[in-house]
Structure 1
Amino acid sequence: MALATPGVRFLTRNSLYLLLSSSLAVYVNNVFFETSNWMFVIGTLLCLPLISTIIVVSTKWSVRRQATAIGARVIPEVRGAWPGNLDILRFMIKKIKTGYPGDGLIDLHVKYGPALNLRVTWSDLVMTTSPEHIKIILATDFHNFVKGERFRHNMEAVLGTGVFNSDGEMWKFHRSITRPVFTRERISHFDLFDQGANKAIDKLKGRLREGHLVDFQDLMWRFTLDSATSFLFGHCVDSLSADLPYPSNTSYPPPQLLTPQGNAANSFARAFAESQEVISFRERYGWIWPLLEITKDKTHEPMKIVKAYIEPIVNEALERKRSTDPEANSKGGEDDETLLDHLVRVTDDPTVLKDEILNIMIAGRDTTASTLTFVIYFLAMYPQVFERLRQEILDKVGQRRPDYDDIREMKYLPTPIAETLRLYPVVPFNIRESINATTLPSEDAQEKPYYLPAGSRIGYSVFLMHRRKDLWGPDAEEFDPDRFLDHRLKTYLTKNPFIFLPFNAGPRICLGQQFAYNEMSFMLIRLLQTFKSINIDVNAVPPEAKPSPDWANETGRKSIEKFFPTMHLTMYTKGGLWVTMKPA
């Protein structure tokens, strides 16, 4: 129903503002003009921007006065060509769909410095790439920077009250109920990794034997979905049972699904990705996004599919708990206990359980799959790195199944993963909201600190920070895993660890980072034990997923990339990554 849409709710919540404008128009009309009804309507419409202008100007004046009073300065405000910087918003939204990550923002940071105020739709939105600012936000002044009500409102249709969309006591609760599952024994779940890796590699080898390309990103999405559901629920959704897709530029038949489970898993994965796309654009449009969803809630249909998939699993776990001896439920801690088993011992609330499962699913599936895809892309682009890594694997592990000690002792294996996460961190942009007014230091010691008012939205980009040449050296945009081994490690990273934050930092640091690292390492070892070379076919992606020819005229990585990196909540490869591999 239209009454339930975000747009209608937005207009209802702001009816007082509209009433104030109408009242002002009535007063002006009665006192000064005594004109007809149609003039009253025009007056109402004119009073809306008048009141808005008064609020905007008075707020800016107040902020400047507060900054001056404490010896600080306001954060530089970007000046667009259109009112409300709507031209900048339009450009940014277009580039999200058709451009390279960071397009537009890079130039603005060059012009305005590491901290700037986009001021889109007359609303402050500070962006920073400063490691000192990010350190304050994530660690040293953690309690002053929260997700905030606006962020939760934008994301709640998908993330609910899960760990990524909560603050305060609710965040502590979610953090506490998931932490016990990420022990060393559980993050080293090599039986689980081996089952998934074997299925994925068998699928890969089968398609290659047919003489066809494989979308490696699609394969990794399936692998990590199966691994995540095995880890979370105790049973695999078996998305790898479905046939693999063919490139869009071929006349091969559409893939045939082999099992109902594979069909359901694919539908869930597509719907989950679509819902994340919707809420990511809500965040980028700011406070005006409900006006784009007047007639319908764009998350409604995909989330129906997601909930229909998750809810029976949650309900089954709750029913299993009710039918189990209460004393056994209270003890828990068995080695084969899944995350869901653990969660249902803590709470009976199906909404809390669903929200937490979906939050962990994003962390456990999307992020790992994307990073593995980017690593394989770089190994194909840089065959010398591939050869060096493969040699280390054969020397240290041979053809046997790797174990925890193998991964821990390998020196070169972590570096291509780290370098990939540096250039393509899976969560490239993030945002917080300040509770109290504060200051942020200037990177130029001669300059006054920046003033940040209470209630300010402040975004930070590890994607842009990871590529700053003043932080990483003149070769910051080059792919070179050796930077994590040679003198550059001490020159740049060791003295300033906050310049490298692929897993966040501070109290909200990713609990599953070691699990993800073990899973990625295991899969890479198995792949390089099996294949002796990788090649990318750039012609297999659909035309809209190919990098624009104009990219070649740009600078940095953008000018040489052979794939199209893009994002919703997390980064991924537009159109997939189509590869061929030669068996060893």
Structure 2
Amino acid sequence: MAFLVSDYFSWRYLPIALPLLFIGSLYVQRWLSRRSALAIGAMAPDVDIRGPLGRIGFFCRVRDDALILVWTGLGFFLEAIRTWRNNTALEFWQWIFDHTGCAARGSYTAEVMIMNGQRMILTADPENVKAVLTSQFKSWGKGQMLYDAFRPFLGDSILSTDGEQWHRARQIIRPFFEKTRVSDLDLYERNVQRLIPKLDKTAIVSIDDLIFRYTLDTISEFLLGNRVGSLEDSSNGFTEAFNEVQRVQSVLMRAGPLTWAIPRKSYLENIKRLDRYMEPFISQALTLPPGSPEAKSDTLLQALASWTRDRQMIRDELTSVLFAGSDTTASSMSWIFFELARHPNVVAKLRALILRKIGTRRPTYQEIKDLKYLQYVINETQRLYATMPFATRQALQDTTLPRGGGPDGLSPIGVRAGTPIIYSALLMHRRRDLYPPVSESFPDPLEWVPERWEHWTPKSWQLIPFSGGPRICIGQQFALMEMGYTLCRILQTFEHIVDYTGGGPPVLKCGIVVTPFHGVQIGFVRPAVAANTPQE
């Protein structure tokens, strides 16, 4: 008897059968992934909820009583994109840990299934972050997922690679951010004197935009020996392209398996615009013979040209450091001015200290370092507004995380090679349970109060404004000095900072860096006494 498929199967059921087969395969992959991980450790709580379809498809209740369908892991990414667009990413993460019971246990580590049936771990636990960044450093790296997402923009650079390639790049770049170079304040002075006249050119200024352009000019001069001229012309091609690339890059980071659906035409065109701008500088540096007196310069560009003649490699490293050295500092300084405008008492106290210790002349490197209250203002801002809200790593080999597994959240979590992890410094910095009880000497951790630093020191790995471990930010001292010097010179010039943002709680826009969603609209008021004008 001949066997006919049509005897047992009707083609009209195909549209139903294929999705079910797909979902079933994901369920099997999920089961195999969990079984494999349990062989080396415990599991973290699932973000999902059991529903009519078990763990294959289900509804879960989220903020504002909205119902979303979380289906085969796709829902997590849809919700991540939605909350990013609505500027509620921080609240979404807090909901995850509250909903899974992690927050109550103090473990702050959960996991979710992603589209290919693989686990993805989410954490805001200092012990797990410490393991990923330092004690188990060799087991974790940027990984293929992040490399693929950033490759068009950053290429094979220090920010996107692992292993020997990352190590070689770091060895070349690190000397350019040592104290001897950071303490040369002429670079900051030249650029801050271009910034100050723009601060009271109009009654109200968008300081977040000005500060971004200021930091872009400063770091480009430091790296290339030439400023991009962003302060003079905000609509120049480089600045516009740089902003647009980062906007799309932020979307690509959150899209996960949906990256294929993100339009990239303008993204790739703007990357080409950045490349065209840097190409003449790279060509000029490559015309100088390695080791020649002309090739020995203070710029990173010429150091890279002496290290390699590969144009693409030079371009990748320059773009990487330019990106890391502008946006992160601009983010922190924008939040500093956001808070200073709302705290005139802090402005008055800090300005009085600067005028008493330094007067109106240029400060020295050591004088900036000795202004403790200035450091408190910077520290408090980086505590409350962690520059990089979320960061990703991928397991390079089978490993474990110290805690977060088991019923009590204290067991090590088994992690198979290839498993991604996202950790949130922004949420970790805001965990009330990691701070002393609120008292007269220690204000609410969610309030911006620089004075808390007079009597309090954070525990190890509680705060990581510049990351940590072998991949700690090499530009940390450069950024701190740029912020300190800039604030000092501005407060030598202006007596008051007026808030025009409109009040209300800050709305955090969590892109690659965290920025004020509504911008920072403020006014700068000079003192009546002209003698307070900054002196050379």
The TM-score bracket by the shorter chain reads: 0.7 to 0.9
Residue 226 (structure 1) aligned with residue 203 (structure 2):
no
Decide which moves more: 397-406 or 49-58: 49-58
Shift of 1:452: 1.9
Residue 574 (structure 1) aligned with residue 517 (structure 2):
yes
Residue 270 (structure 1) aligned with residue 247 (structure 2):
no
User: Counterparts of 1:564 and 1:457 in 2: how far apart (Å)?
Assistant: 28
User: Counterparts of 1:143 and 1:70 in 2: how far apart (Å)?
Assistant: 18
Shift of 1:276: 1.6
**What is the one-letter code of the residue matched to 2:421?**
I
CA contact (8 A) 2:335 2:385 kept: yes
82, 105, 110: which is aligned to 1:94?
A: 82
**What is the one-letter code of the residue matched to 1:476?**
P
**What is the one-letter code of the residue matched to 2:403?**
S
Q: Which residue of 1 aligns with 2:430?
A: 467
User: Counterparts of 2:41 and 2:82 in 1: how far apart (Å)?
Assistant: 39
Counterpart mapping for 1:170-319 below 5 A = 170-205=165-200, 207-208=201-202, 212-242=203-233, 263-264=235-236, 267-293=237-263, 297-319=265-287
Shift of 1:46: 5.0
Q: Which residue of 1 aligns with 2:474?
A: 511
**What is the one-letter code of the residue matched to 2:209?**
D
Q: Which residue of 1 aligns with 2:451?
A: 482
Higher helix share: 1
For residue 498 of structure 1, give the secondary structure of its aligned residue in structure 2: coil
Shift of 1:313: 2.0
CA contact (8 A) 1:115 1:126 kept: yes
**What is the one-letter code of the residue matched to 2:347?**
F
Residue 56 (structure 1) aligned with residue 44 (structure 2):
no
Shift of 1:447: 3.9
Shift of 1:530: 0.8
364, 368, 385: which is aligned to 1:407?
A: 368
Q: Which residue of 1 aligns with 2:111?
A: 117
Residue 378 (structure 1) aligned with residue 339 (structure 2):
yes
Indicate the percent of aligned positions where both proteins have the same amino acid: 31
Deviations 1:283-341 (A, max 9, x none): 21112211344xx545222212222212222222222x24xxx5426x96x5x521111
Residue 394 (structure 1) aligned with residue 394 (structure 2):
no
96, 106, 110: which is aligned to 2:94?
A: 106
1:34/1:176 CA distance change after superposition, 3 Å: farther
User: Counterparts of 2:19 and 2:313 in 1: how far apart (Å)?
Assistant: 42
For residue 431 of structure 1, give the secondary structure of its aligned residue in structure 2: strand
CA contact (8 A) 1:197 1:526 kept: yes
**What is the one-letter code of the residue matched to 2:525?**
K
1:298/1:437 CA distance change after superposition, 3 Å: farther
Deviations 1:410-456 (A, max 9, x none): 21111110110111111110000012222223369774322222211
Shift of 1:393: 0.9
1:236/1:115 CA distance change after superposition, 3 Å: same
User: Counterparts of 2:155 and 2:18 in 1: how far apart (Å)?
Assistant: 34
Q: Which residue of 2 aligns with 1:535?
A: 498
User: Counterparts of 1:512 and 1:345 in 2: how far apart (Å)?
Assistant: 21
Unaligned runs of 5+ in 1: 1-28, 243-261, 540-546, 548-559
1:413/1:534 CA distance change after superposition, 3 Å: same
Decide which moves more: 441-450 or 49-58: 441-450
Residue 431 (structure 1) aligned with residue 372 (structure 2):
no
Shift of 1:377: 0.9
User: Counterparts of 1:41 and 1:226 in 2: how far apart (Å)?
Assistant: 63
User: Counterparts of 1:566 and 1:31 in 2: how far apart (Å)?
Assistant: 59
CA contact (8 A) 2:41 2:400 kept: no
Shift of 1:133: 0.3
73, 98, 103: which is aligned to 2:43?
A: 73
Q: Which residue of 2 aligns with 1:23?
A: none
User: Counterparts of 2:232 and 2:35 in 1: how far apart (Å)?
Assistant: 63
Report the RMSD for the aligned CA atoms in angstroms.
2.5
Give aligned pairs, total.
493
User: Counterparts of 1:302 and 1:71 in 2: how far apart (Å)?
Assistant: 45
Residue 136 (structure 1) aligned with residue 109 (structure 2):
no
28, 33, 41: which is aligned to 2:6?
A: 33
CA contact (8 A) 1:75 1:450 kept: no
**What is the one-letter code of the residue matched to 1:33?**
S
Shift of 1:85: 4.3
Relative to the length of structure 1, the TM-score reads 0.79
User: Counterparts of 1:168 and 1:46 in 2: how far apart (Å)?
Assistant: 46
1:515/1:31 CA distance change after superposition, 3 Å: farther
For residue 188 of structure 2, give the secondary structure of its aligned residue in structure 1: helix
Deviations 1:7-27 (A, max 9, x none): xxxxxxxxxxxxxxxxxxxxx
Residue 164 (structure 1) aligned with residue 159 (structure 2):
yes
Relative to the length of structure 2, the TM-score reads 0.86
Deviations 1:215-236 (A, max 9, x none): 1111111211111111011122
Decide which moves more: 460-469 or 355-364: 355-364
